[in-house]
Amino acid sequence: MTNTSYFFSVAFVLLLMSQLFMAYRTSNIESPNYIVVKSFEKFEIRNYPAMNIAQTVMNSDGYKESSSNGFRTVANYIFGGNKENKKIAMTSPVIMEIGDDSKMSFVMPKEHSYENLPEPNSANVELLKIQPKTYAVIAFKGFANDEKIEKYSKMLLHCMKVENLKPIGAIQYLGYNPPWQVLGRTNEVAVEVVYSKKL
């Protein structure tokens, strides 16, 4: 084996190990404890508990145009951009509501009640209480982009129509991984739905 081949072999192994470690760490980040109430062939119905979120509104309607700016705005809040200079743990997924005015939201860790969350420094970040809701959710792998989100949004809405389920409100994209993670990426598209077990 030449020195060059050896170097690339070692580099590949180190890269693979770092990606596996990153995937492991991501899997251990706090996420909402939803309950799957019904599984269909391509999607499922989930009940989500009440959540507190930090949210910003973006003046664009696409994932590519909105995601980076929205992420930075809300990330600044949890990294200490608040009246108490308090750092708040990152959770997953990051939620992006896609529409005329897209919204980026981080779910706050369960240890924080709405009342003890520090006030944001930025007027562009709003703290909200979200009541328990039911969502229809479809998952996909790899890196997300506008084309994939549109594809799976249409697929989800079509599958819901087949099952006589009506969506409520806008489509949401749920991202579970940092941009530098390559392996084990998980993405979801969700929309609120009224669901009865009798259906």
Give the tens place of pLDDT for each residue, 3-15: 565 444 444 333 4
CA dist 88 and 111 (Å) reads: 10
Q: Indicate the pLDDT class of residue 198, thresholds 50, 70 and 90.
A: low
- Mind listing the pLDDT tens digit for each residue in 25-40? 445 689 999 999 999 9
Q: How many domains does the chain have?
A: 2
Q: Which helix (H) or strand (E) holds 6?
A: helix 3-27
What pTM was estimated for this model as a whole? 0.82
Residue 11 has a pLDDT of: 41
User: Same structural domain for residues 180 and 140?
Assistant: yes
**Domain-located, residue 198:** no
Residues 151, 89: one domain?
A: no
> Are the C-beta atoms of residues 32 and 92 closer than 8 Å to each other?
no
Report yes or no: 199 and 163 within 8 Å, Cβ to Cβ.
yes
Average model confidence (pLDDT) across the chain? 85
Question: Which residues 6+ apart lie within 8 Å of 98 measured at CB?
Answer: 61, 62, 63, 149, 153, 170, 171, 172, 173
Q: Is the pLDDT of residue 46 over 50?
A: yes
Q: Are residues 72 and 122 in the same domain?
A: yes
Domain that holds residue 35: 3-46+132-193
In a domain, 39, yes or no: yes
CATH of the domain at 121: 3.20.80.10
